[in-house]
Amino acid sequence: MLIAGNWKMYKGPAETAEFCLRLREEELEGVDVVLCPPFVSLAVAVQLLAGTEIAVAAQNVHWENEGAFTGEISAPMLRELGVYGAIVGHSERRQYFGDTDEAVAKRAAAALDAGLFVIACVGETEEERDGNRTEDVLRRQLSVLEPDDNLVLAYEPVWAIGTGKTATPEIAQEAHAFVKSQIDAPVLYGGSVKPDNAAELLAQPDVDGALVGGASLELDSFTAICRTAIPS
């Protein structure tokens, strides 16, 4: 089981340092844990989690190694920092910053080529689900991605991100099974994962972990979700 905490635009270096020092003290053996802080907090997270099994990943990555791309960060830069992986294609990147399926594919390929692991996000909007287009959307988003040993997928129904709505375990399982029919890769569930719904979601046969948003910002709720994923 893999539990990744996506901090989005929260926690600068000082707050990140405090969180990581406390996280180091937690007993989380048996679950793979990844923290995804903002770019400015990556270095301190890498430094303070060195020597632990907890990985640090970026929330995005550019597809070129270098160049005139103001505001962007490349995979080699992340590698030099000691970062282990990157998220690509998060619904907020697609919604607010215009990331297309093709851009997501280029980001994923560049990160994988550089030796990073990738969490590639896919998922439908409420309108698309209501129109019975979920599988069409997932098929399109997945069609541009190539299978890779370092590729992990995250199914995040856009209607369940930051809304408090969560896909039922049955909806999550159905979507995950479909995703796996398209690409052979582990699939995380993302969308308002909390300590009180994590166990039921993670118990589904095709759910291989969680991409946690808001609940990853507090140490107690994040570690509670991580412990739910530890095999009994």
H runs (alpha helix) in the chain: 13-24, 42-49, 75-81, 91-97, 101-113, 126-130, 134-143, 169-182, 195-202, 219-228
For residue 62, indicate whether it is catalytic: no
Contact present, 178 and 142 (Cβ < 8 Å): no
Question: Cα–Cα distances in Å, from 195 out to 18, 170, 210, 216?
Answer: 22, 18, 11, 10
Phi, psi of 170 (to 5 degrees): -65, -45
Angle between helices 42-49 and 13-24 (to 10 degrees): 20
Q: Give the residue from 55, 68, 63, 61 showing the smallest Cα distance to 28.
A: 55
Is 126 in the active site? no
Q: Point out the catalytic residue in the list 92, 128, 156, 176.
A: 156
Q: Which of 62, 90, 128, 176 is catalytic?
A: 90
Rounded Cα–Cα distance for residues 195 and 198 (Å): 5
The CA-atom distances, in angstroms, between 131 and each of 55, 126, 134, 135, 164 are 38, 8, 8, 11, 21
- Distance, in Å, from the CA atom of 50 to the CA atom of 127, rounded to the nearest integer, reads 43
Residue 30: other Cβ atoms inside 10 A: 12
- The residues annotated as belonging to the active site are 90, 156
